């Protein structure tokens, strides 16, 4: 099966659901999951329970990635959005929840223990870390529609949550490097050439921009 | 001046975007131990919203052949969908046996303690893929979510993925079909009207009554 980008597969997945073709929907979601397996596996390896704290022990990376990947496939039952940014937000929430759950391993048989690793799950009551940014993003899209700026709304919808987040980075130089990294998918060298800056500058701006984008998408409050 | 950490992060970004399938561990190993935790946070911050690279056919085949992917896709295609595989994995992670899960479930559902063995037998059936997830009640999913400490939606979702979607039956009856089927239907009717040895109880309703 040749590669198809995530936004194409998401669109086909939602279309298949809308026409009641669950077999096709399952196939498209399976391909989305395969496309994103490296994201899942690497997120598990890089996950830390707290800033600067420990992660999942290396000998448990495989088990944690297996559980996370199963949970990503299970997401298909409820996920019906067409946009990749929303999909990545949901996927990150799901994988990071799975990682946190591994931190509770030692707490087995201890019910309702306190502590940051032991957030109690209420059925369907879990708020994701990206919910605030998504809500603000939705509100912006709605406002634009209400103001009859339909062309602008359509453009934003196409570019998605990530472009929306990048546009909110205040530092022009970080924002520029992130646009070229995420939206134009240029390498560090190509960005250095395009902006006539040193590679060292690209490295710095990329790192700071990535952290700023993450902060905007995680902590946004309207 | 950029730091080594900034350069390593940027090289990971380039390798990812080019579809070279970089591994976080390899990149963490390239920086001083004191920098690893921060680099890990930066790499995961990038990965959350990184555009998926345009993988080659070969790369996609390699990903599909990964044991984690192969196992999950095979489970999703199974008769009872993804729920048995996910349930087993969650239970194993918590170090709980089916009997222990059943004990907690019975408590959580306010059932008499003597219903635990029967509940455990339903959990065994669930693991073997012999229980249709759509027949399991919402109360059981709620209780399981608490015991296994995962959102109910993920368990229900796992039950809804694949499996049990029986294809529509296609019959082409011959002239003799009615005569041939009649004895079987009579037998079935007698069976259904004969009282069972054990009456259906609350546990049966919870696992077979549907949501």
**pLDDT digit string (tens) for A136-195?**
767 765 665 555 455 444 445 545 889 999 999 999 999 999 999 999 999 999 999 999
**pLDDT digit string (tens) for B164-182?**
544 444 445 566 666 776 7
Q: Measuring CA to CA, which residue among B69, B95, B75 is closest to residue B159?
A: B75
> Does A105 or A8 have the greater pLDDT score?
A8
**pLDDT digit string (tens) for B26-84?**
999 999 999 999 999 999 999 999 999 999 999 999 999 999 999 999 988 877 789 99
Question: What is the Cα B155 distance to its own chain's centre?
Answer: 7
Q: What pLDDT is stored for residue A119 in this prediction?
A: 44
Same domain, B13 and B56: yes
- What span, in angstroms and rounded, lies between the C-alpha atoms of B184 and B161? 34
| ipTM for the assembly | 0.81
Same domain, B123 and B57: no
For residue B155, being part of any structural domain is answered with yes
CB contact under 8 A, B40 and A70: no
> Does A76 or A219 have the greater pLDDT score?
A76
Residue B87: CB partners within 8 Å, gap ≥ 6?
B123, B126, B127, B144, B148, B155, B158
Give the CA distances from residue A80 to residues A15, A102, A171, B138, in Å, rounded to whole numbers and listed in that order: 9, 28, 34, 22
Task: Considering only CA atoms, give the Rg of chain A.
Answer: 19
Structural domain count, chain B:
2
Same domain, B140 and B88: yes
For residue B97, being part of any structural domain is answered with yes
Give the three-state DSSP class for A147: coil
| Phi then psi dihedrals of residue A55, to 5 deg | -110, -160
Same domain, B31 and B73: no
Q: B27: domain range?
A: 4-64
Residues of chain A contacting B155 with CB distance shorter than 8 Å: 74
Q: Measuring CA to CA, which residue among B7, B161, B66 is closest to residue A188?
A: B7
CA of A113 to nearest chain B CA: how many angstroms apart?
Answer: 12
Boundary (domain end) residue, out of B64, B86, B116: B64
CA of B173 to nearest chain A CA: how many angstroms apart?
Answer: 29
- Residue B17 pLDDT class (50, 70, 90 cuts): very high
Question: What's the CATH code of the domain at B152?
Answer: 1.10.260.40
- What span, in angstroms and rounded, lies between the C-alpha atoms of B56 and A32? 15
Nearest CA in chain A to B85: A70
Same domain, B115 and B127: yes
Q: What pLDDT is stored for residue B186 in this prediction?
A: 74
**A18, A38 contact by CB (below 8 A):** no
Same domain, B60 and B122: no
Same domain, B50 and B123: no
Q: What pLDDT is stored for residue B167 in this prediction?
A: 44
Same domain, B82 and B138: yes
**Residue among B76, B152, B161 whose CB faces A124 most closely:** B152
For residue B192, being part of any structural domain is answered with no
Q: What pLDDT is stored for residue B21 in this prediction?
A: 98
Buried b (16+ CB within 10 A) or exposed e, A92-112: bbbbbbbbbbbbbbeeeeeee
For residue B197, being part of any structural domain is answered with no
pTM: 0.80
Same domain, B73 and B97: yes
Chain B interface mutation, best of A74, A134, A187, highest count of B Cβ atoms under 10 Å: A74
A16-A20-A24-A30 Cα dihedral, nearest 10 degrees: 80
Same domain, B126 and B75: yes
CB contact under 8 A, B82 and A73: yes
Same domain, B37 and B73: no
Q: What pLDDT is stored for residue A136 in this prediction?
A: 75
Which phi-psi region, left, alpha or beta, contains residue B57 (left: φ > 0; alpha: ψ -120 to 50)?
alpha
CATH architecture entry for A132-219: Orthogonal Bundle (1.10)
Please identify which residue in the block is written with the tokens 């809500």: A135
Domain with CATH 1.10.10.10 in chain A: 132-219
**Residue among A38, A75, A185 whose CB faces B21 most closely:** A38
Same domain, B75 and B105: yes
Neighbours of A53 (CB within 10 A): 11
Q: Measuring CA to CA, which residue among B94, B139, B88, B117 is closest to residue A110?
A: B94
């Amino acid at each position: 099966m040749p590669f198809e980008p995530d936004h194409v597969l998401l669109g086909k997945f939602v279309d298949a659901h809308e026409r009641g073709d669950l077999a096709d929907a399952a196939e498209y979601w399976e391909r989305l999951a395969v496309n994103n397996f490296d994201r899942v596996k690497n997120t598990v390896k890089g996950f830390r329970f707290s800033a600067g704290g420990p992660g999942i022990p290396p000998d448990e990376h495989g088990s944690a990635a297996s559980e996370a990947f199963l949970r990503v496939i299970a997401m298909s039952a409820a996920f019906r959005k067409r946009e990749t940014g929303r999909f990545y937000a949901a996927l990150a929430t799901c994988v990071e929840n799975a990682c946190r759950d591994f931190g509770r391993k030692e707490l087995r048989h201890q019910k309702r223990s306190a502590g940051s690793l032991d957030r109690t799950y209420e059925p369907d009551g879990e708020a994701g870390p990206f919910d605030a940014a998504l809500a603000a993003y939705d509100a912006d899209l709605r406002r634009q529609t209400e103001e009859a700026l339909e062309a602008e709304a359509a453009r934003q919808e196409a570019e998605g949550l990530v472009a929306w987040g990048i546009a909110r980075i205040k530092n022009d130089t970080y924002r520029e490097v992130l646009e070229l990294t995420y939206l134009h998918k240029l390498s560090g060298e190509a960005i250095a050439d395009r902006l006539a800056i040193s590679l060292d500058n690209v490295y710095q701006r990329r790192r700071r921009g990535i952290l700023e984008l993450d902060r905007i998408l995680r902590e946004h409050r309207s | 001046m950029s730091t080594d950490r900034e350069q390593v992060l940027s090289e990971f970004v380039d390798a990812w975007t080019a579809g070279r399938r970089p591994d976080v561990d390899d990149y963490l190993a390239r920086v001083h131990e004191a920098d690893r935790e921060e680099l890990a946070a930066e790499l995961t911050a990038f990965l959350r919203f990184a555009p998926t690279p345009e993988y080659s056919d070969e790369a996609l085949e390699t990903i599909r052949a990964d044991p984690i992917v192969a196992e999950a896709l095979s489970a999703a295609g199974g008769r009872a969908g993804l729920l048995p595989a996910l349930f087993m994995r969650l239970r194993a992670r918590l170090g709980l046996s089916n009997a222990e899960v059943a004990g907690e479930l019975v408590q959580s559902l306010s059932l008499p303690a003597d219903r635990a063995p029967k509940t455990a037998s339903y959990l065994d059936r669930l693991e073997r893929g012999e229980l249709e997830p759509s027949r399991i009640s919402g109360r059981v999913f709620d209780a399981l979510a608490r015991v296994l400490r995962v959102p109910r939606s993920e368990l229900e979702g796992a039950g809804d993925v694949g499996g049990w979607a029986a294809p529509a039956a296609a019959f082409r009856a011959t002239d003799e079909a009615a005569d041939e089927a009649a004895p079987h239907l009579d037998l079935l009717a007698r069976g259904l009207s004969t009282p069972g040895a054990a009456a259906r109880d609350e546990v049966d309703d919870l696992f077979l009554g549907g949501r």
